[in-house]
Amino acid sequence: MAEPPDTALLRPLPSTSPRFYSRSLSVRWITDSWALLILALGVCWLFLFSELSGEWRINAQYNYGYVVPLLGLALIWRRWPERPEASAGRSAWVGFAAIALLFLLLPIRVVLQANPEWRLVYWLHGFQAVGLSLCILYRLGGWRWVRFFAPPILFMLIAVPWPVGLEHWAIQGLMRLVAGLTVEVAGWFGIPAVQQGNLIETTVGIVGIDEACSGVRSLQAALMLSLFLGEMHRFSPGRRVALLVASLFFDLLANLTRTTFLVWAAANRGLTQMEAWHDTAGLLVMIIVLPSLLGLAHVMRPRTQRPAPAVKPEPMVFPLIPRWVGILALVWIGAGELAAEAWYRSHEISLIATSRWSLAWPVQSPRFRKTAVPENSLAILRCSSSDAGIWDDDAGNQWSAFLLRWKAGKNSAQLAKGHRPDICFPAAGARLIDDFGQMTVPVHEIEIPFRHQTFEMGGKLVHVFYCLWPDRVSPNEKPLLEDGSQASRLQAVVAGKRHLGQQVLEIVIAGPESQSEAVSLLQQHLPMLIRLEKTP
């Protein structure tokens, strides 16, 4: 029999019952605890991508990095409905590993502030974020979750720049291969061309690195796309490797087509017209690589689709963890950032300005000619100012020099150190003969450090003297050359140097046959080339 209306109104609603209210508090407590821990993990990934964004911005080979986090999250979201049954892991060793990885974040952040271009630490940071992610997955769902979600999480590492040695070996090798094949193909069309390293010489001039081989930067983008498609279609390991190899082939074919077109344009329409078609020719790479990979991935898809889950996954049950775990992780991250900032601020107060100097060009010589760094190179270097010139001395030695300046900023050291003879000269077809290391040359009241290297270029021996000069140094520090070694990088951290303005001087001398002769010539002429300026 129905209850009277007034009696029904007096019954407590289920949502206000003490038992239900207590259960709601318990669920919210557990969920909030995990939310704090996942937030801490998100901050670690955010720090990683924030550091990498500098490389993505200044290095055209890694411009694709901006889309990698979004693609990685999309791949994780795609796998989530098919996740296996969760079985929370309880190994204490995994917990200790998570704590160690979280503590590792502090030294990583400190070192990267002084060395924002140190790729070894980039990779260490990447593995730290990946490892921490896998530890949390283990605690949530056990080893089955770790194995299931590892592929999309590891995909994130494709955004990390390759180690410098590997990158130079792969890119320079591919550039030389493309240039050599282009010369052969041009011969089939009756176009005379000669390979000079990465350059292609035609009857009307040289098709330089900016015109012919810059399309090779699509290599990393093609690899990224092949890895993404392999994961999106959930290919077997064999099919993923096949797609990866195919991406290399498509990229080689696209760049061969592009460089051949540019050589044809230079030989038949002139260098000016070739430069006008340069950007249009760059579209050939994407027109060939992107549709080819998409089409091949579509053809390689298994004809039988994976069966849909028979039952809807059970609601997620979070293992119980104390709320202080997430709070402590966030506090450690925040305290680490404050400690790093305090470390550098305390040292920056004591940094002193170095002597400022510029080049005094031998304009009185009739054999002197002022030159300029190409616009395409300036777009890559992103320096604040540049100055260049070439001349012959009385003994017939050929000189060339340029001076580049970068104002103080987060990526100033990264941009300055990215332009070194051992990087740029091989790209122009030169071959490194010897590296004599560091030396200093006294000039007026200062000593200027140089790194002396010799290259073979066009059948001639050239001596290259490279100097990297920061705007400020530690009071007890000698202005030694920052050669990019691990020792010099760690010294920069200890000295608390970051974001300093930089100046690069590069002098090339062709003529001397020996190291001692070249050094003697530099010591004799450098005081007349350097002009001291007033320190602001």
Q: Residue 272: which residues within 8 A CB-CB, separation 6 or more?
A: none
CA distance 525 to 507: 11
| 168 or 99, higher pLDDT | 99
Going by the DSSP 8-state scheme, the letter that residue 395 receives in this structure is: T
Residue 165: predicted pLDDT? 76
Say if residue 314's pLDDT is above 90: no
What's the rounded mean pLDDT across residues 287-314? 74
In our burial notation (b when 16+ CB lie closer than 10 A, e otherwise), range 358-388 reads bbebbeeeeeeeeeeeeeebeebbebbeebb
* Chain centroid, CA 188 distance in Å: 38
| 7 or 136, higher pLDDT | 136
Residues 377 and 210 sit within 8 Å (Cβ to Cβ):
yes
Residue 242: predicted pLDDT? 94
Going by the DSSP 8-state scheme, the letter that residue 445 receives in this structure is: T
| 9 or 118, higher pLDDT | 118
CA distance 340 to 351: 17
**The domain at 352-533 falls in which architecture?**
3-Layer(aba) Sandwich (3.40)
Q: Residue 151: which residues within 8 A CB-CB, separation 6 or more?
A: 75, 231
Pick the range with the lowest mean pLDDT from 45-54, 120-129, 188-197.
188-197
Of 143, 136, 156, which is closest to residue 36 (Cα–Cα)?
Answer: 136
Helix (H) or strand (E) holding 508: strand 502-510
Tell me the domain boundaries of the chain.
25-161, 164-300, 352-533
Pick the range with the lowest mean pLDDT from 18-22, 218-222, 269-273, 491-495.
18-22
**In sequence order, which ranges of 315-371 are alpha helices (DSSP H)?**
323-348
Other C-beta atoms lying within 10 Å of the C-beta of residue 257: 18
Say if residue 468's pLDDT is above 80: yes
Q: How would residue 216 be classed by pLDDT, with cut points 50, 70 and 90?
A: low
Structure token pair of residue 435: 């590296």
Of 396, 404, 420, which is closest to residue 372 (Cα–Cα)?
Answer: 404
Residues 38 and 30 sit within 8 Å (Cβ to Cβ):
no
Going by the DSSP 8-state scheme, the letter that residue 355 receives in this structure is: P
CA distance 422 to 407: 24
Q: For the segment 450-465, what is each residue's pLDDT rounded down to a tens digit?
A: 999 999 887 789 999 9
Q: How would residue 14 be classed by pLDDT, with cut points 50, 70 and 90?
A: very low
Residue 228: predicted pLDDT? 94
Residues 232 and 306 sit within 8 Å (Cβ to Cβ):
no
| 377 or 176, higher pLDDT | 176
Pick the range with the lowest mean pLDDT from 152-166, 186-200, 318-332, 335-349.
186-200
Q: Above pLDDT 70, what percent of the chain?
A: 82
Q: For the segment 28-82, what is each residue's pLDDT rounded down to a tens digit?
A: 544 577 888 889 999 999 999 999 998 888 777 788 899 999 999 999 999 998 8
One-letter amino acid for residue 438 of the chain: Q
533, β-bridge pairs: 356
In our burial notation (b when 16+ CB lie closer than 10 A, e otherwise), range 38-49 reads eebbebbbebbb
Pick the range with the lowest mean pLDDT from 130-144, 203-217, 388-402.
203-217
**In sequence order, which ranges of 302-448 are alpha helices (DSSP H)?**
323-348, 375-381, 412-417, 421-427
Q: For the segment 234-280, what is each residue's pLDDT rounded down to a tens digit?
A: 999 999 999 999 998 988 888 888 888 888 888 887 777 777 776 67
The CB-side HSE value for 171 (13 A sphere, CA atoms) comes to 24
CA distance 289 to 268: 27
CA distance 255 to 262: 10
The CB-side HSE value for 382 (13 A sphere, CA atoms) comes to 20
User: Highest-confidence range of 52-66, 237-251, 347-361, 492-506, by mean pLDDT?
Assistant: 237-251
Of 466, 499, 498, 496, which is closest to residue 483 (Cα–Cα)?
Answer: 466
The CB-side HSE value for 235 (13 A sphere, CA atoms) comes to 21
Q: What is the pTM of this model?
A: 0.76
Say if residue 187's pLDDT is above 60: yes
What's the rounded mean pLDDT across residues 296-321? 68
Q: How would residue 380 be classed by pLDDT, with cut points 50, 70 and 90?
A: low
Structure token pair of residue 346: 């305390």
499, β-bridge pairs: none
Structure token pair of residue 136: 């949390």
Residues 143 and 137 sit within 8 Å (Cβ to Cβ):
no
Q: How would residue 377 be classed by pLDDT, with cut points 50, 70 and 90?
A: low
| 405 or 536, higher pLDDT | 405
Say if residue 17's pLDDT is above 80: no
Say if residue 229's pLDDT is above 90: yes
Q: What is the mean pLDDT of the chain?
A: 81
Backbone angles phi, psi at 227, to 5 degrees: -65, -40
User: Highest-confidence range of 154-158, 194-198, 469-473, by mean pLDDT?
Assistant: 154-158
